[in-house]
Structure 1
Amino acid sequence: MQILDQITPQLYAIIKRDHRLKNLVMPIWQFLSKFAVWIRSLSNRSKFLPPPSGICQSVQDWVNTYPSATNQKPANYQVIYPSHTVTRALPKTIDANIHWKFRINQQRQLPDAFVATIPNGRVWGDGNVITPDNQLLAEVSKVIGKGEYILDSAKHPIFFQEKLPPVQKISGSVAVLSSAGGTGYYHWLFDILPRLALLQKAEIAFEEIDKFLVNRYISRFQIETLNTLGIPRSKIIENHWNPHIEAEQLVVPALVGETSHMPKWACDFLRENFLGDKTKQNKQTLRLYLNRTQVVHRKVENESEVIDFLSGMGFRNLSLETLSVAEQIELMAAAEVVIAPHGAGLTNIVFCQPGTKVIELLSPKAVNFMYWSLSNQVGLDYYYLLGEGEVPPEPIDPYANNDNILINLNSLFRVLELAEIR
């Protein structure tokens, strides 16, 4: 199994880097997962289930009203971090006006962070929780659109399924970690792993959990981070291969704030468990540019010119995907400046030291504020630069998230001057 865990991420990384290979292999991968479900269903044809019959918006409301059977443990709900409001410092930019998406998100109410246990609870797809009385728990069952959770639960894709696949029953307890987008690096670090922090704060030892449900366990960062947190491979199940499960006790940590709106406790958990004493070992001396050469979308069109320009100012050009998580963290802990186009590599600024300058390169048609939000939580000095092109008027948001970015070098120089980087 250890050899497989070493080989699989390498193959997966190669596939992701090659656009043609990805288009060839990923449909086969999806077919195999559906084929595995179909094979299991052959012996269980009578167990196809209908979609949920209703929606319960609040986990606490469901726990408080659901009658427990005498032969099972009662449902439970425990608040770990109460709801609170975060107020963020506005970003810095050379533009005359700060983009409206930053302004409308300067203040945000973050929900309660809790842990619930649901007897005979089910999970379909990417962490969508269904109660034993066939209600979708909307609070912990989200889908993402334009970088944020879609609020209208009636539009959830589960209600457009003719039927759900046969349920796979799992004895004991299953902790739900999987969530929308949970295969990507950012969502893995901020929407998946911090749910383990809630289990710890609820004094639920990892040893007490029989299985941990994640979206996938295939990328190098997924294997490395769970190993660091002490969760063995034998306890991990993937909803990619197990799309519909039922557990005797379903342990459901809350979603981590709202995607793009990470709470400080989640940042603290990541820093405490992965950063260690790296801030003591390194002085802030590195100037880093994080390229996107390993991906097929959202590239900087004139990246070679940008890299040449920045190298003259002492910037180091990095492809983070080629490094282990530990190596990425060590570099970030030693950075005084980080410049990057919007992308998962900026997730690692959570490991920067307070005061580190961050300059994010954004497409004018896809302004995402998540790394500004993160910078505020860990005390970073955040700047942004919009690429060339027309900026849509407020409140139009095309969210052309795959578009490449063209950077005006004179504008980049002006941002560096604004940040006093010489």
Structure 2
Amino acid sequence: MQVEYDDGGFSGWVVSSAGPYAPVWCQVLIDGEHRASIRADEFVPFVGERHDGHCCLNFSYRVPAYLRDGRAHRVQLTFTYVQDSATVQCSLPLTVRTFGAVASHPQSGYPVCRAQDVAAVPADIGEAESWASPNPTIVFPEGPIRRVWRPCRDVDGAVLSGFPHAEIVTHPLALSFLSDVYVRRSTGAVYVPGHGVWQDSHYLSDSRRIREDLERLERGGQDAPIIEGPALLASTAMNRNYFHWVMDILAGVHACTRHLGPPPPLLTPPLRSWQADSLRLLVGDAAFATPVDGAEPASDLVRCRRLIVPSNLGGVGLFPDETVTDLFATLRGRVGHDPHARRRIFISRRDSDCPRITNEAVLAAALERFGFETVVLGERSFAEQIRLFKEAEVVIGAHGAGLVNGGFCTPGTWMVEIRSSNYLNPCFYHLSGVCGLSYASHVETVPCREDGAENAASFEVDTERLLGLLRRLPLKFVL
């Protein structure tokens, strides 16, 4: 038999001795779940002539859209047919394949190394940690993809419009064990010699920098400092963004710790104080292999003999619920709080380069009548932010990274997200779902920007309409 894979699925042919009118069934398992039963039933005589005259039958399969996500998946094909009342079965070896574009923000202009390009093989944790395979190994410790249909509803129970999708797709974590690769620590880009940038390491990266790195490596990058490893990658191109730091880097480190035990030394970007504090709170006195802030590019690029790369978890707004909820629960349990507090929090963005709400001061004054306190999260430590959200009964804020702290809230806490109609990212709706929060959305109509930077739009909030939403929440407001 022969199978050929592409971005959309696979096709091939199988040789059968049962004749052209006895179809062969192919059972398709992806990530451990049965996805389809397909028939190889198109007779191809000229191929069969090369196989002792046996019948050759074609088959093809297009994977579902939610699997064409640019992530690594385990694929197992089993072929079955009946001949002379006996069932004949043959299974192909388990393989790792990638379908579709990488992430939802595809990059161009440089080669991307995907699992099948380097014959990556699935393995259990013990096999991967032995580093015995000549090929990269990928561990999927948390089971299959899960799809949850969760209609978006407002506080009155009506289905909300304006969400790109109401289906939460939770991807399993993948841990890639790579040998002899180059790493740009400040951006998390991983370069596999001769193949390009590793598929799980260039989300929202700087295309120019990646091209420059690849060109340099083609000319010979042997002068890069060597880290023997094993080391755990704890960096992405968006590491300065609080949301991506928590949902990609902290979640990846935590997931690795859950399955491997104490993590190996961490390859991190230059750390700000709150980032270092968050890692210490999560993993204690883990070792760091961290460049000095402002390091020259030449010292930032290193060669790593053995590197573990967690797949991005929250970066595209699709959350593997078990990993994320356990991360928040772990951090929440390490910070004390007043269990009797019932704080009402309004998140100010006055310290942000993208303030969003143009009448924020007016809105903050109106919310004070409802018992809300205005907080600037950038002025608080990581532990103080956890404590603040642990003590909240309702949180209001414009769409922005600070709302990721909602994961530290007690289940049942209300999250009210203020959003613009030209950027309806559902990530915090999904976050509220996997963390058990109650969610409400206030949307302001905002025209599209000519420069396409919809996430940078600023707008005025209709204060009375927002207060009307608050009055409908099942909370007691004393005016």
For this structure pair, what is the TM-score category when the shorter chain's length is used for normalisation? 0.7 to 0.9
| Structure 1 counterpart of 2:458, from 400, 404, 407 | 404
Go from structure 1 to structure 2 and tell me whether the alpha carbon gap of 1:308 and 1:226 turns closer, same or farther (over 3 Å shift): same
Per the alignment, residue 335 of structure 1 pairs with 392
Decide whether the 8 Å contact of 1:337 with 1:358 is kept in 2.
yes
> Residue type matched to 1:216 in 2?
P
Q: Does 1:324 align with 2:405?
A: no
Go from structure 1 to structure 2 and tell me whether the alpha carbon gap of 1:314 and 1:235 turns closer, same or farther (over 3 Å shift): same
**Of the two structures, which has the highest relative contact order with CA contacts closer than 8 Å and spacing of 6 or more?**
1
Per the alignment, residue 195 of structure 1 pairs with 252
Paired with 2:419 and 2:110, the residues of 1 have a C-alpha distance of 42
Q: 1:85-96 maps to which residues of 2 (within 5 A)?
A: 85-92=147-154
Go from structure 1 to structure 2 and tell me whether the alpha carbon gap of 1:390 and 1:97 turns closer, same or farther (over 3 Å shift): farther
How many angstroms does 1:399 deviate by? 4.5
Per the alignment, residue 355 of structure 2 pairs with 298
> Residue type matched to 2:276 in 1?
I
Per the alignment, residue 236 of structure 2 pairs with 179
Q: Does 1:347 align with 2:404?
A: yes
- SS of residue in 2 equivalent to 1:246: strand
| Structure 1 counterpart of 2:146, from 65, 79, 84 | 84
Sequence identity percentage: 21
> Residue type matched to 1:57 in 2?
R
Decide whether the 8 Å contact of 1:183 with 1:215 is kept in 2.
no
- SS of residue in 2 equivalent to 1:136: strand
Paired with 2:382 and 2:314, the residues of 1 have a C-alpha distance of 24
Paired with 2:458 and 2:110, the residues of 1 have a C-alpha distance of 43
Paired with 2:436 and 2:179, the residues of 1 have a C-alpha distance of 41
Q: Does 1:111 align with 2:171?
A: yes
Paired with 1:254 and 1:276, the residues of 2 have a C-alpha distance of 25
- SS of residue in 1 equivalent to 2:197: strand
> Residue type matched to 1:200 in 2?
T
Paired with 1:334 and 1:144, the residues of 2 have a C-alpha distance of 36
Deviates more, 1:339-348 or 1:130-139: 130-139
- The TM-score normalised by the length of structure 1 is 0.73
Structure with larger Rg: 2
Q: Which structure 1 residue ranges, 5 or more long, are not aligned? A: 1-50, 66-71, 146-154
Per the alignment, residue 360 of structure 1 pairs with 417
Paired with 1:329 and 1:204, the residues of 2 have a C-alpha distance of 24
Paired with 1:227 and 1:399, the residues of 2 have a C-alpha distance of 35
Paired with 1:95 and 1:264, the residues of 2 have a C-alpha distance of 24
How big is the alpha-carbon RMSD for the aligned residues of Structure 1 and Structure 2?
3.4
Paired with 1:197 and 1:230, the residues of 2 have a C-alpha distance of 8
Q: Which has the higher helix share?
A: 1
| Structure 1 counterpart of 2:275, from 222, 235, 239 | 222
> How many residues are paired up?
349
How many angstroms does 1:112 deviate by? 3.1
Q: Does 1:122 align with 2:182?
A: yes
Paired with 2:117 and 2:333, the residues of 1 have a C-alpha distance of 35
Decide whether the 8 Å contact of 1:63 with 1:76 is kept in 2.
yes
Q: Does 1:269 align with 2:329?
A: no
Structure 1, residues 299-351: CA drift from partner, whole Å, max 9, x if none? 32111111111101111111121111211111211111111112222111001
Q: Which has the higher strand share?
A: 2
- SS of residue in 2 equivalent to 1:329: helix
